[in-house]
Structures are given as structure tokens and as C-alpha cells.
Amino acid sequence: MRRITILGSTGSVGESTIDLVNRNRGAYQVVALTAHSNWEKLATQAKSLRPEMVALADRGGYASLKAALAGTGIAIEAGDEAICEAARRDADWVMAAIVGAAGLKPTLAAVERGATVALANKECLVSAGDIFMAAVARHNATLLPVDSEHNAIFQVFDFDQRAKVTKIILTASGGPFRSLPMADMRGVTPAQAVAHPNWSMGAKISVDSATMMNKGLEVIEAHHLFRMTPAQIEVLVHPQSVIHSMVEYADGSVLAQLGTPDMRTPIAYTLGWPKRLDAPTARLDLAKLGSLTFEAPDLTRFPALRLAQEALVAGGAAPTILNAANEVAVARFLAGEIGFLEIAAIVEHTLARVAGRRIASLEDILAVDEEARIVARNVPQRVAAGNAAQTIGAGNAAQATAAGSAAQKTAAE
Ligand code: NAD
Ligand code: MG
């Protein structure tokens, strides 16, 4: 029996993990399940999976959770420290599926035990990549990437011949607004932004996919996981989300991992690793699909991707600031406080305001993260809107140029 813990069990990745566990109950003993505030869902999961412990970050739900699980013998704890406590319990395999930098300390707690960590939480690598990877090495932990692109690369990356890997190619769907007229981007609603064309995911990552900040975060994630330089990490828009990513070798070979867009495939890969499990996902039917298409990302339309790539090159505190500002900006957008284009504008503004901070420890990271959050929370909507207008202006100009050259081409033909 494999002893497993799921951090963030009530989320999209958490529930997909539980779905796989339920299909082979006899193989797993659940050690701990954790959630932010949804005590009802956590109680339902606990009654079915019978973990040794459950932890709820939000203390407000503690009494209700305790009442719901009375008589089960399951240990119940609440508060941020309780989530770390859950991660410290002796599970062999830990799914790190908390969203945001909130996942950093609990995931590190699992790493520090030398556990096998299935890493879905990309924000902890973006915010604290060097420190996180140093902890993985120091404690001899095993890191298995869950993010579909990184899982794809992990499956085809020849770690014994890493010098022969020339680049990695991260594919991106381009999200729901890949070809929306630039002027319409301003009025995009949270409901439209979370409706991803291919993947069903939590709200934060869905908005990140719509701004393409998600791909930017993934570029930084890939840099840490595979030790590739920024120049070796290419982003390729592939709207069908069938090729999940690729690795190019010195001999010109390009290896890819393909599949239907269902997170249960990469999760199953990490849950069974080093063996493969069965997963109940739809099978790929390429003949039915007919064609796969590709295009270069449009950095004018998606300034968030550019900001993330620049933050990786800048290094130091920049990725920490980028991540914290983005978390705040996405929350402000989802709360209806700012417009869609203002998300990247707030991130850019925060990066400029919180500059030159040194990072040498986890405490430095947490301090910079906090400072960036305060700045991002207080960027007035008016300032963000002004910056966002420049994005639309640049986008319109680019569209006009493209339309102009298309017209010229047609005239010439
Ligand atoms: P989600 O919003 O659906 O779930 C997040 C989980 O984290 C929930 O269980 C929630 O209760 C918990 N949580 C949130 N804030 C918390 C806090 N402050 N303290 C403790 N727990 C907290 O998110 P998701 O879509 O499942 O994504 C989880 C992570 O996996 C993210 O980092 C995301 O980028 C990454 N990821 C997700 C997908 C996907 O398909 N959903 C794909 C690739 C990577
Ligand atoms: Mg991904």
C-alpha cells in the first residue's frame, strides 16, 4: 500500500487525483487531505477516503468540520500551520495541489522529509525556485512534475544525456482570447476568462491561461525543473492542446508527448511512477482531429507572457514579485474590481515599483512577496487602466499593420 497525502484535495487537481485513487482503492492508504475553506467537501472526501488527518487552512470552518467528522477517529486541525503539519506526516507520495504561493511552505515541508512530491503548484517554483530546488537536492526528495507541459517534457527528457538537449518547447493553447479582436479584450468578464477552451481547471489558473501568464509561469517552472536557460525555452501556441510539449536534441530529433487534454493522464503518471497506471481518459484519435496547428505567441496581445520571460532573465526578486502581483491582480479581476487587461498592467507596475530587492533566504522571499502584494493591491484602477490602454493601442497598431500587409499581399496577388 502506498501512503499518500493530497494537499489541496478539494481543488480541480485534487479531485482528479481522488478520482484516480478511487479506481484502485486497495493500492493506497490516505494519510492526509487538506483544503482552504470548503469544509463540506473536505468532510465528504474524508468520510469516503478515511485519511488519518484532515487540515483546513481557514479556522472559521473548524467547528463545522469537527462536527461533520465526529466519531470517525480522523484527526482534525485548522490554520496555515496545520496544512504544513499534514505535509509533514509520513506519506510516501504527496500531491502538491494548493494554488498560489500559499502552497510554498506546505510543499517545502513535504520536500524536507525527502518525500516523493507530485508538483502541480507551479507558483512555488516561480516564487522561490532556487531555494525550492536546493531543498529538493539537500533532502533527496523526488520531484515529479504534474503540470501537463512539464510532465510531457519529463517523460521524453533524457536526463542521462542532458548536454544533448538543445531546447524544450512548451506548447500553449493560447486560451479563450487568442483571436478575439483587441478592442474586445478590455470588456472580457471573469466568466468568459475562466471558460478555457480545452482544459477544466481552477479559476486562478484559468485566468492565467487567458492572459498567458500561465505560460510565463511555466517557462520559469521549466527553467528550474530542467535546468534550461531562458534562451533554451521556447513557447509555441498550439490551440488543440494535443502535443503537451517537446524536447529537441542535438541530432535534430524532437520528442513529444501527446494525449487528450485531461489532467488525469499526467497525475496518473506521477501517482504510478516509475510504473504506468491505467487512466480512464479519452483516447487520442488523430484521424478524427485531422490537423494540428501551431503559431508563434503574440507578445503584444499577451504582455503577461513577455513580463514573465523578462522576469526570468532579470532573476533575483523579479519572479517572486511577478507571481505575487499576478495572484493579487487575478483576485482583483475575479472580484470585478479591475478589467482583464489591467491584470498585466498591475504586474508591470508592481515589478517597476518593488525593484532591487535581494533574495538569499526563504524569509527574503516571503518579505518580497508580501511587499509586492501590498503594492499590487493598491495600484489604483485608474493607473492600471491607463497602462492597459497602451496595451490595446499597441495591439491595435499591430493588428492594423498585419491587416495592412495582408491587404497589400492580396492586392499584389
Ligand atoms: P483550485 O483552485 O481548483 O484548487 C486549489 C486548492 O488549493 C483547493 O483545494 C483549495 O482549497 C486549496 N487552497 C487554496 N488556497 C489555499 C490556502 N491559502 N491554503 C491552503 N489551501 C489552499 O486549483 P487547481 O486548478 O486545482 O490548481 C492547483 C495548482 O495546480 C495550481 O498551482 C495550478 O497552477 C496547478 N495546475 C493546475 C492544473 C489544472 O488542470 N487545474 C494544471 C496544471 C497545474
Ligand atoms: Mg500547464
The model's pLDDT over 145-160, given as tens digits with 9 standing for 90+, comes to 999 999 999 999 999 9
Q: Are residues 185 and 62 in the same domain?
A: no
Banded pLDDT at 399 (limits 50, 70, 90):
low
Model pLDDT, residue 412: 42
Q: Are residues 170 and 191 in the same domain?
A: yes
Q: Are residues 179 and 311 in the same domain?
A: yes
Query: Mean pLDDT across the stretch 1-19?
Result: 98
User: Residues 186, 99, 322, 305: is their CA dihedral positive or negative?
Assistant: negative
The ligand minimizing its distance to the Cα of 122 is 1
The ligand minimizing its distance to the Cα of 206 is 1
Is 354 among the domain residues? yes
Sheet holding 142-145, edge to edge: 75-78, 53-56, 28-35, 2-7, 93-96, 116-119, 142-145
Model pLDDT, residue 409: 44
Banded pLDDT at 384 (limits 50, 70, 90):
confident
Q: Are residues 29 and 127 in the same domain?
A: yes
Banded pLDDT at 405 (limits 50, 70, 90):
low
Tell me which of 403 and 281 has the higher pLDDT. 281
Banded pLDDT at 224 (limits 50, 70, 90):
very high
Q: Are residues 244 and 295 in the same domain?
A: yes
Least-confidence region, from 179-183, 203-207, 263-267: 179-183
- The 10s digit of each residue's pLDDT in 41-73 is 999 999 999 999 999 999 999 999 999 999 999
**Which contacts of 359-367 are long-range, i.e. CB under 8 A and separated by 24 or more positions?**
359/130, 359/131, 359/316, 359/317, 359/320, 361/131, 362/108, 362/128, 362/131, 364/317, 365/104, 365/127, 365/128, 365/131, 365/320
Is 192 among the domain residues? yes
Is 174 among the domain residues? yes
Model pLDDT, residue 413: 39
Q: Are residues 249 and 347 in the same domain?
A: yes
Tell me which of 96 and 396 has the higher pLDDT. 96
- For all residues of the chain together, what is the average pLDDT? 95
Banded pLDDT at 395 (limits 50, 70, 90):
low
Residue where a domain terminates, one of 145, 168, 183: 145
Residue where a domain terminates, one of 113, 145, 177: 145
Over 90: is that where the pLDDT of 142 sits? yes
Model pLDDT, residue 285: 98
Over 90: is that where the pLDDT of 390 sits? no
Q: For residue 405, report the distance from its CA to the centre of ligand 2, in Å.
A: 34
Q: Are residues 318 and 347 in the same domain?
A: yes
Q: For residue 251, report the distance from its CA to the centre of ligand 1, in Å.
A: 39
Model pLDDT, residue 102: 98
Model pLDDT, residue 400: 62
Residue where a domain terminates, one of 112, 145, 178: 145
The ligand minimizing its distance to the Cα of 199 is 1
Is 408 among the domain residues? no
Q: Are residues 94 and 161 in the same domain?
A: no
State the closest ligand 1 atom to the C-alpha of 124, by its place in the atom list counted from 1.
Answer: 32
Model pLDDT, residue 272: 98
Over 60: is that where the pLDDT of 258 sits? yes
Tell me which of 402 and 257 has the higher pLDDT. 257
Q: Are residues 325 and 340 in the same domain?
A: yes
Q: Are residues 84 and 172 in the same domain?
A: no
Model pLDDT, residue 387: 76
State the closest ligand 1 atom to the C-alpha of 200, by its place in the atom list counted from 1.
Answer: 40
Banded pLDDT at 385 (limits 50, 70, 90):
confident
Which of 34, 99, 244 for mutating ligand 1's site (highest number of atoms within 8 Å of CB)?
A: 99
Over 70: is that where the pLDDT of 403 sits? no
- The 10s digit of each residue's pLDDT in 328-353 is 999 999 999 999 999 999 999 999 99
CA separation for the pair 300, 304 (Å, rounded): 9
Is 326 among the domain residues? yes
How many Cα atoms sit within 13 Å of 278 on the Cβ side?
Answer: 4
Which of 45, 173, 201, 217 for mutating ligand 1's site (highest number of atoms within 8 Å of CB)?
A: 201
Length, in residues, of the chain: 413
Is 407 among the domain residues? no
Over 60: is that where the pLDDT of 406 sits? no
Is 412 among the domain residues? no
Query: Mean pLDDT across the stretch 387-401?
Result: 69
What is the count of structural domains for the chain? 2
- Lookup result for grid cell 485534487: 14
Q: Are residues 347 and 256 in the same domain?
A: yes
Q: Are residues 294 and 156 in the same domain?
A: yes
Rounded to 5°, the CA angle 156-307-154 comes to: 10
Q: What residues make up the domain containing 133? A: 2-145
Cell readout for 44 is 465528504
Tell me which of 400 and 264 has the higher pLDDT. 264
- The 10s digit of each residue's pLDDT in 162-173 is 999 999 999 999
Cβ–Cβ under 8 Å, residues 248 and 158: no
Cβ–Cβ under 8 Å, residues 54 and 33: yes
Q: What CATH number is associated with residue 72?
A: 3.40.50.720
Q: For residue 225, report the distance from its CA to the centre of ligand 1, in Å.
A: 19
- The 10s digit of each residue's pLDDT in 85-131 is 999 999 999 999 999 999 999 999 999 999 999 999 999 999 999 99
Model pLDDT, residue 410: 41
- What distance separates the 2 farthest-apart alpha carbons in the chain? 80
Model pLDDT, residue 401: 61
